[in-house]
Structure 1
Amino acid sequence: MKIKDLDAELLEKAAGMLKAIAHPMRIAILSHLEDGNMLTVTEIHKLLNIEQSTTSHHLGILKDKGVLSSKREGKNTFYYLKHNSLRNIVDCVSKCTIAS
């Protein structure tokens, strides 16, 4: 599907997803969820060395905009990329910043 084929509603959703991703900490979160990784809030906040409440806030935004999904197992909620193709955006951004 090409961008010109998207209707206004789909374009709005795509823009919302890109806005949600467009934050350094959220890009870092996505980088840890590549390749089918599923992580809890605790695991992510330890990996990124940020407060657990901050991690939860960022995960909430990413989930609300359709970037992430979650799965509850016992006491833990695991977060993962809702669409595996989103890792291409992270890859592209990483490559573009290195080339600068």
Structure 2
Amino acid sequence: MTITEKNQSKEKLEKAAFILKTVAHPTRLAIIDLLGTQERMSVNELARVLECEQSLLSHHLINMKLKGILRAEQEGQNRYYSLKERDVLKLIACIENCECRM
């Protein structure tokens, strides 16, 4: 393996670790899963579907937006979220297919 290949592999692993740390919470995974099926959703819609307090949900949404997983659009008094990094859905698929016996 060349130095360039090692550096690219290291960068890929660092990006994967960053994404995993960002989404490592059941509510965040549920948000990503839901936004994978919807083009965009408001905070109120997400709170209703996920049965989660809006303030807690907003905390998770802002965190994932700041880290580049989600994007947000303001329309009037509503803020709509959508997936910016759609490849994170592959992570959800892997988790759903995992048969780890822990």
Which band: TM-score by shorter chain? 0.7 to 0.9
Give 5+ residue unaligned stretches, structure 1. none
Larger Rg: 2
TM-score (norm 1): 0.80
Q: Look up the match of 2:8.
A: 5
Instruction: Give distance in 2, aligned partners of 1:36 and 1:49.
Output: 17
Return the offset for 1:80. 0.7
Equivalent residue runs for 1:60-99 within 5 Å: 60-96=62-98, 99=99
Is the aligned partner of 1:17 residue 2:19?
Answer: yes
The number of equivalent residue pairs is 96
Percent of aligned positions with the same letter in both sequences? Answer: 38
Return the offset for 1:72. 1.7
Q: Look up the match of 1:47.
A: 49
What secondary structure does 1:26 align onto? Answer: helix
CA RMSD in angstroms comes to 2.3
Greater mean deviation of Cα atoms: 80-89 or 25-34: 80-89
Q: 1:4 to 1:50 in 2, by over 3 A?
A: same
TM-score (norm 2): 0.79
Instruction: Give distance in 2, aligned partners of 1:88 and 1:14.
Output: 12
Instruction: Give distance in 1, aligned partners of 2:57 and 2:39.
Output: 16
After the TM superposition, which segments of 4 or more aligned residues of structure 1 sit over 2 Å from their partners? 10-17
Return the offset for 1:12. 4.7
Give 5+ residue unaligned stretches, structure 2. none
Residues 69-100 of structure 1 deviation map (CA, whole Å, 9 limit, x = unaligned): 1112222111011122111111111111xx34
Q: Look up the match of 2:40.
A: 38
